[in-house]
Amino acid sequence: MGTSDTFRSLLLEYGFAFILRIWLYNSEFKATISGRVEVSTPINSWKKVTEGVALYKDGINPYSGDMFHESPVGLLIYNQMIDYAAPFLPAIFIIFDLLTGHLLYLTAVEYMKHLMKRQNEEKHEFSDEVKELLLTDKDVRRQPLYVVAAYLFNPYILFNTVAQTTTVFSNFCLALSFFSMVKGYRFAVCLFLSLATLQSLYPIVLVVPAAICIGYHTLPSSNKSTTSVEKCSYFCQKLLPRALQSSNSDHWVTSIATTMVLFSVMMSSLLLLSCYISGGWEFLQSVYGFMLLVPDLRPNIGLFWYFFTEMFEHFRLLYLWAFQMNALVLYLIPLSLRTRRDPILLAATLTGITAMFKSYPSLGDVGFYLALLPMWAHIFPYLQQGFIVLAAFIITSVLGPTVWHLWIYARSANANFYFGVGLAFAIAQIFLITDILLSYTKREFILRQVTNNVFNGKHRKLVLA
């Protein structure tokens, strides 16, 4: 498969994806899809955006009510979009979606190159027996195509685009951040991550993989003359525990600190801009307070809604903290330490975890991290629960709308049915993510450790201990 073949298949994918989206936009399903609770949450639904823009135009502060939860910067952009590009809205959404797909493709290409490079560097560590397990050029060419296909033809992403949710834009920002991450563009990563954070808060966790990734990219190949920055970092290094002090640790400290500071500066300037646009800090409560405190208990694919519907009032705050920490910080540090050698995997895992455990998840978020996974298609043979996960995804995707109809329209089922399906969906996602992580570790282990002498002619077991 040559470059022209790749180009042709890419073009084919985009063309087909575009036609598919155009068809769905003009079909009778559009209204049904955009009304679905799985796709449109209070955070991302286009109806709420229209409401906010209508209020804004009539001189009513959209943040004084409880109908609009986008950031003020978003409000300004959507206002312009509705004013000047109202007939072309579907086209805008489709184009952004295709661009996201293409960015993911470029990300995957870059990442595969990086994987290949690393494999070549470390080849001497691997034993001869594992040659079959190594990445091949074919994998490197194919996996980016899988990524773009998994994005563009993912039904979850299709629904998300057709429902015109603002997740399309946050996915675009995320894809840009992933792309700049693999490319090592510090400024761009910080900018797009802060934009994504401004819109939906949870991408803030991606700062850590981004900082690590940028650190790898800026790793000095040889020792240069000490600059003032390095001098400064020398003192920082002194503060570190001895175990972390290494020849490159001053680089790491400066690099990570620079990324963090740059991100904070961008984030705060975006917040200041938002304050300037909306004329006050009221939006903080309406946007981030809404995401963190979960006052709207409309069902979605997450765990929050029914949990906090049924929660006892005096435990509400405790569990809010517990659940939000679970989504934001609980796994951040351990996973960062564990998968620090592959920050892109870390970023994808964190995206998956937040998409699962965030307060108002939508199918658009799920589809985005699912589309990232084919970058690791070479570890799929190690998955143990692949079939279960696939079956659970299919069954819950069918069963969810069915029991929703039974509950809300036919009134012959109740909330437990829908929640049960949501639980199954969450469990499937959990299995998928943990399985991917384990398989990745397993492959690394086998590449490095498995030599013929490990096996004494009998079965051996790999265990986590």
Partner 1 sequence: MIVGVLICLFLSCVSGLGQSDLYGDEFHEELLLKQLPSGHVYSYFQFTTLWENGGDEPNHHCHLFPQSLSEVLHLYNVDEMHLSLTGGLWRHENWGYPVISAPPGAELWAWFKEGTEDVDKKWTLLSNALSGLFCASLNFINPQQSLNPKYSFAPLGAYASGSQNRSLLRYSTLPREIVCTENLTPFKKLLPCDSKKGLSSLLNAGNIHNANYHSLGIHVRPQCKDVNCQQTVLELRQTVSLVYDLIILGPESRDWSFRKLFGVGLAGSCPLAASSRIYVDTSSNGTSSIYTLTPEPTEFISSNRGGYNTLFAVYDIKKTNIINMFSISSTHKGPRVQSLNSPPVLHATRYIVGYGQEHGGIVTKIHNNHWKDLDIILFENIPWFLPIYYHTLRVTTNEGKQVLKPYKKHYIPGRDRSRPYALELLVSLPPRSVVEIYVEFDYSFLKWQEYPPDANHGFYIGAAVITSVLPHTKNYTGIPIDGSTFSSSINASRDTYPVTLHTEILLVTLPTPDFSMPYNVICLACTVVALAFGPLHNHTTKRLQMLDPSEETKGLLTSLRMRLKSFICKSSEEKEEISVPTKTVKVKSKESASEHKPCESKSTIRKKVKASSKSST
DSSP class per residue in 164-199: T-THHHHHHHHHHHHHHHHHT-HHHHHHHHHHHHHH
Give 195 or 356: the residue with its C-beta nearer to partner 1.
356
Considering only CA atoms, which of 96, 95, 108, 100 is closest in space to residue 146? Answer: 108
Please report, as residue ranges, which positions from 186 to 225 form the binding site for partner 1 (by CB under 8 A).
Answer: none
With binding defined as CB under 8 A, does residue 126 bind partner 1? no
Query: Do 155 and 179 contact (CB within 8 A), yes or no?
Result: no
What x-and-dash track marks residues 391-420 binding partner 1 by CB under 8 A? ----------------xxx-x--xxx--x-
Give, as ranges, the residues between 13 and 42 that touch partner 1 (CB under 8 A). Answer: 35, 37
Q: What is the DSSP string of 66-84?
A: SS--S-HHHHHHHHHHHHH
Residue type, 166: T
In the bound complex, what is the minimum distance in angstroms from residue 179's beta carbon to partner 1? 27
67 lies in the site for partner 1, by CB under 8 A: yes
Query: 77 vs 311, which CB is nearer to partner 1?
Result: 311
Site for partner 1 in 366-385 (CB under 8 A): 381-382, 384
Q: Which of residues 329-368 bind partner 1 (CB under 8 A)?
A: 330-331, 334-335, 337-338, 353, 356-357
Interface region with partner 1, contact rule CB under 8 A, candidates 1-9, 245-253, 266-274, 454-462 = 454-462
Cα atoms found within 13 Å of the Cα of residue 146, Cβ hemisphere only? 16
- Give whichever of 105 and 159 is closer to partner 1, judged by the CB atom: 159
CB of 154 to partner 1, least distance (A): 22
**Encoded amino acid at 365, one letter:** D
Q: Residue 135: what residue type?
A: L
308 binds partner 1 (CB under 8 A): yes
Q: With respect to partner 1, which residue has the nearer C-beta, 68 or 151?
A: 68
Cα–Cα distance measured from residue 460 to residue 256, given in angstroms and rounded to the nearest whole number: 41
Cβ proximity to partner 1, 58 vs 121, nearer residue:
58
Q: Is 309 in the site for partner 1 (CB under 8 A)?
A: yes
Using the rule CB under 8 A, give the single segment among 139-147, 155-163, 181-189, 448-456 that binds partner 1.
448-456
Binding of partner 1 by 305 (CB under 8 A): yes
CA–CA–CA angle 397, 399, 405 (5° rounding)? 115
Residue 239 token pair:
């503060």
Q: Which is nearer to partner 1, 239 or 463 (CB)?
A: 463
| DSSP secondary structure of 203-270 | GGGGHHHHHHHHHHHT--SS-----HHHHHHHHHHHHS-GGG--TTHHHHHHHHHHHHHHHHHHHHHH
Q: How far is the CB of 446 from partner 1 (least distance, A)?
A: 6
Q: 26 or 416, CB closer to partner 1? A: 416
